[in-house]
Amino acid sequence: MILIADCGSTKIDWCLLNGKKVEKQVFTMGMNAVMLTEEEMRGRIGAELMPELADYAAEIKEVYFYGAGCISTEVCSNVACAIKANLPEADKIEVYTDLLAAARALCGHEPGIACIMGTGSNSCLYDGTGISANVSPLGFILGDEGSGAVLGKLFLGDVLKNQLPATVRAEFLEEYSLDLLTIIRRVYREPQPNRFLASVTPFISKHIDVKEIHDMVLGTFTAFFKRNIMQYTGYEAHKVNFVGSIAYYFRDVLEEAARNTGCTIGKVIKSPMEGLLSYHSEA
């Protein structure tokens, strides 16, 4: 059997694949491999995942773990060791970045351009096997164009600087129980401001027909194509594929931004797991 993990900071989606059949799916608490020690990850996997897989553990021979933060040999080794300690019968344990998960889920074994557009954003040129080029996303302060965090940052700036219709502004502040001081505290003083910023995107989506909001979203999506996709040599020859909630729920505006920059949208999916299951069942 093969165990596949799609790991984010909020949750981990584990799928046990038996041939082409999903034997079991388990969700556990998310983890950022950069922030946790091997011992901490080993403990979490043992406490949260292994009780759910107790009947299958001895049969799991391969593990493919994809996670945000799995960007160095040391970090990947720590994750692999934490998994091996819980699944000693596994002969193969491979750990990769979430960007490769997106590429494999979207493009399979074919070359293409794969992007993540959720709380953060990222992109790569994929050669059908691995990532051949990557424009650094730089995070929501310097980059992450089109991400939920950047949408939230721009939107909140417009709210606080009176760039939106007064009725929309008042509705938002009331619905989210926010004021100037609370927003400043959440962004500048509390942990994980990117999550807070991204949390307002449902309101943005609901009011996408407001011209000021539509133009703001279109602007940052256009910047994503110009500052990322158009930096890849030969990008015109590839469709641009996306995984993530922002791309999924804002697809109409994303298509508009693509047309404005001469790009063509391919697949847009909310989660990579279905594509990963297909990739590994065919491998």
Cβ atoms of residues 239 and 112 within 8 Å: yes
For 2-90, CATH gives: 3.30.420.40
What is the pLDDT of the chain when averaged over all its residues?
92
What are the residue ranges of CATH 3.30.420.40 in the chain? Answer: 2-90, 109-270
Residue (of 182, 191, 218, 199) closest to 119 by Cα position: 199
Please write the tens of the pLDDT for every residue from 111-144: 999 999 988 899 999 999 899 999 988 888 898 9
CA angle 12, 17, 19 (to 5 degrees): 165
The mean pLDDT value for 45-73 works out to 91
- Give the count of beta carbons closer than 10 Å to the beta carbon of residue 256: 16
The mean pLDDT value for 84-102 works out to 93
Residue 283 — very low, low, confident or very high, per pLDDT cuts 50/70/90? low
Model-level pTM? 0.85
Which pair of tokens denotes residue 186?
A: 């959440």
pLDDT of residue 29: 86
The mean pLDDT value for 254-268 works out to 96
Domain 109-270 -> CATH class? alpha beta
H/E stretch holding 131 reads strand 131-133
Please write the tens of the pLDDT for every residue from 162-211: 999 999 999 999 999 999 999 999 999 988 888 899 999 999 999 999 99
Please write the tens of the pLDDT for every residue from 106-115: 999 999 999 9
